[in-house]
Chains A and B, each alone.
Chain A
């Protein structure tokens, strides 16, 4: 069984997005951006772990103010979570992320999450 941590979960989220070649971003007027998480069942399936383990960690991430759950929207990152995700993309998956978002959008998202 995969040893699960918040970092592992964030990494899985980015890898799922890159694998599915789609990154969904919500832009808000306060200049913030929020990045959509895959559904928890998809995360569990991707990591090969029971669903309840993912739920427990998502609850932990909510407590750490990294994600929020919105009705009909699913799980989305907070300001802090968006920053963490963009850092991860910048450090580990820059080339693949830029291919999906494009150079300009990637740069803008990175800037907005500082």
Chain B
């Protein structure tokens, strides 16, 4: 059988025997095997799509899409606001619970911090990562929202 990713795999004869014993035709067996293979393939896609980089990219794209970038200024440091985990899950079209472990990882890597009633903010390291991403991949859109002077100043501060 050819899978969605182009790889071939043999359907075990025992599976046909099992289904036939329950009164199914060979075509029913194949139909169900296809369904299962597709589901597995979709799940595998899910697993490979998300990473810390993907989440940072999504966070930037959400801000650009919503045409708002929120920055917390403190003495000599800046922190950038991350969208909520639910918004990120919705944007990436993945279940909410799937996004959560990546936030734990990002916290562990000191890229973001979470505070009650404040939400998720980048750390100094996270701000650097986010602003670098804006500079490399989305300079035009970021400039448009922040303004040249602010964008330049934020780049300097990170």
Contact = CB atoms under 8 A, between A and B. Distances in A.
Interface stretch (B20-28, B35-43, B66-74, B90-98): B66-74
The B contact surface, by secondary structure, is mixed
B147 interface: yes
Nearest to A28: B68
A48 to B, nearest CB: 21
A27 B71 CA distance: 8
Given A104-B149, A105-B153, A108-B147, A27 B73 contact: no
B17 interface: no
Contacts of B72: 22-25
Contacts of B119: 72
Interface of B: 67-76, 81, 84, 117, 119, 144-147, 149-150, 152-153, 157
Given A21-B74, A26-B70, A26-B71, 5 more contacts: A27-B71, A27-B150, A29-B68, A72-B119, A100-B73
Contacts of B145: 27-29
A102 B149 CA distance: 12
B84 A25 contact: no
A102 B147 contact: no
Q: How large is the interface on A (under 10, 10 to 19, 20 to 34, 35 or more residues)?
A: 20 to 34
A28 B69 CA distance: 7
B75 A100 contact: yes
Given A28-B68, A29-B144, A29-B145, A108 B153 contact: yes
10 contacts: A22-B72, A24-B72, A24-B81, A27-B145, A36-B70, A74-B117, A101-B73, A102-B73, A104-B150, A105-B73
A-B pairs with lowest CB-CB distance, top 3: A29-B67, A24-B72, A26-B70
Max count, chain A CB within 10 A of own CB: residue among B67, B144, B153: B153
